[in-house]
Structure 1
């Protein structure tokens, strides 16, 4: 199979594949409180989901400017809190409706699938294992080895791993960080309206389309793929 026949769809995780906002907000509040900082709460935390932890914590602390050592300490407290939460027998990060069906459909249509997320690899592996998705993605890119979104490093690595041209790729995400990252990498960027940034923000960030339900994705990819394929 030649490179120009390969197509790759890359999913964000939190807010796109799984609904993890409450767990993230709980652990973020715990981490901030542990260091005597004001807890950001759910609504504020939703705005930074998708960024790498240090960048997210720095943004949540504004207008205060935290020392690098304090950002590192809060980051470690968050990781510890999430690890502990994950061990709870009733811990659950549910998949959004339609995820499995759409991945199956895209696979049948010849799309490769990958993930690019602000989660650490340990957290991503836990989510995929719990939902029997570990073997469904050909590339997994996390914040462990890359700059924070919207830097395109994760997408560039995914394309290098799979040998797919950016004109044959699509980034699917729920935040402006995902859309901006996809645009910076030269690929289609499709927003999802069920996540943590609203439709207007996704459109303003340059989304080629915004979908309301997962089952709309295959048709949207088909529509957008045609002009992309003509120039590939």
Structure 2
């Protein structure tokens, strides 16, 4: 595979934040005396925009209640982020390796713009990306709008772009935009659910992306579902 642009989902793909999102959604529901849900139900909506996620979990809520729950979720998340979420192991090095090879990088996320900017400030990762789209400034996944807008902004043809994500929403969005897809197994949706969308590959750690697209890796290659691993040892410093 050879690409000019790699588009990443954020939560559950780059950032180890899935458990925090689940906990904050539970907290918001408790604040409003809504029925308790299983963790797996909440994990299932991660990747959608927040209003869409809330209505998927609680379809009987009216507009006022959805707005109130959004506010309570944001309250819990901001409190939780006093101890900031961290990138998954190898994520930062993977992004750096892609940039060093001259690839453009972008983010398509269900987070709000304010939320993404905050985590970019906390982690310093924002400088690695050429563009981004958030759910409050475009259509929510799985609609392809975010990917299509990024392709237009960065002047990249669909066949020269790759989407990397941890949910079926990411994969469906990419497919609708005519973009190749790689899924990660460690995020919100289960590997079994992801395989149903037939991604080009299913990887267990973000550095495994690098040999798939011909970029030098920083770890020895593990098996990659869908491809023969071509990973090589990193050069010694």
Q: TM-score, normalised by structure 2?
A: 0.85
**Moved segments of 4+, more than 6 Å:** none
Paired residues, number:
215
Q: Which residue of 2 aligns with 1:229?
A: none
Q: Is there any run of 5+ residues in structure 1 with no aligned partner, and where?
A: 225-232
- Structure 1 residues 143-222: aligned runs within 5 Å: 143-222=135-214
Q: Which residue of 1 aligns with 2:21?
A: 24
Q: Which residue of 2 aligns with 1:10?
A: 7
State the shift of 1:215 in Å. Answer: 1.6
* Partner of residue 54 from structure 1, selected from 51, 54, 59: 51
Residue pair 2:18, 2:187 contacting (<8 A) in 1 also:
no
Q: 2: CA distance between counterparts of 1:140 and 1:169?
A: 14
Higher normalized helix content (fraction of residues): 1
Q: Which residue of 1 aligns with 2:75?
A: 80
State the shift of 1:80 in Å. Answer: 2.4
- 1:49-108 alpha-carbon deviations (Å, 9 max, x no partner): 1110111111112xx52222222221122122222333x3xx121210111111111112
Q: Using a 3 Å threshold, how does the CA distance of structure 1 residues 222 and 203 change in structure 2: closer, same or farther?
A: farther
Q: 2: CA distance between counterparts of 1:113 and 1:45?
A: 28
Q: 2: CA distance between counterparts of 1:16 and 1:50?
A: 10
Q: 2: CA distance between counterparts of 1:84 and 1:211?
A: 32
1:34 aligns with 2:31: yes
Q: Is there any run of 5+ residues in structure 2 with no aligned partner, and where?
A: 216-225, 227-237
Q: Using a 3 Å threshold, how does the CA distance of structure 1 residues 22 and 200 change in structure 2: closer, same or farther?
A: closer
Residue pair 2:47, 2:169 contacting (<8 A) in 1 also:
yes
Q: TM-score, normalised by structure 1?
A: 0.87
Q: 2: CA distance between counterparts of 1:217 and 1:139?
A: 20
